[in-house]
């Protein structure tokens, strides 16, 4: 599925796959977001597929935000693929269950 990132009311929704093939697009977008705001909400619920490159990017993004004393909510607690990969890396705590149904 083609990657699409849409911002609406301060929430950045990622639709599609976060994989090695498009990691640079996602990375560039997240870096732009990181520079622009102090609070970040990234919705990962519509991510269809994620590989280790995508997981490492999310972890890196999360850590960079913390180092800059900013806040991030990574929404994707109900996305089994993302949650499973983060559980394997023992990093599932970066997902927020806020706003989840």
Instruction: Provide Rg for the chain, Cα atoms.
Output: 12
In a domain, 98, yes or no: no
In percent, the amount of the chain with pLDDT more than 70 equals 94
> Range of 72's domain?
6-93
The pLDDT tens digits of the residues spanning 17-49 come to: 999 999 999 999 988 887 777 888 999 999 999
Residue closest to 29 by CA, chosen among 12, 45, 50: 12
In a domain, 100, yes or no: no
Can you give the pLDDT at residue 97?
A: 66
Dump pLDDT digits (tens) for 1-25.
Answer: 689 999 998 899 999 999 999 999 9
The total of structural domains in the chain comes to: 1
CA distance 34 to 9: 16
pTM recorded for the entire structure: 0.84
What CATH code is carried by the domain that includes residue 54?
A: 3.30.750.24
């Amino acid at each position: 599925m083609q990657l699409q990132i849409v911002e609406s009311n301060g929430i950045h929704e990622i639709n599609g796959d976060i994989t090695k093939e498009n990691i640079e697009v996602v990375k560039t977008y997240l870096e732009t977001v990181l520079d622009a705001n102090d609070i970040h909400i990234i919705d990962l619920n519509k991510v269809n597929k994620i590989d280790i490159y995508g997981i490492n990017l999310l972890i890196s993004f999360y850590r960079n935000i913390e180092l800059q004393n900013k806040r991030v909510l990574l929404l994707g607690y109900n996305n089994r693929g993302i949650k499973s990969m983060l559980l394997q890396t023992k990093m599932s705590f970066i997902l927020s269950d806020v706003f989840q149904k």
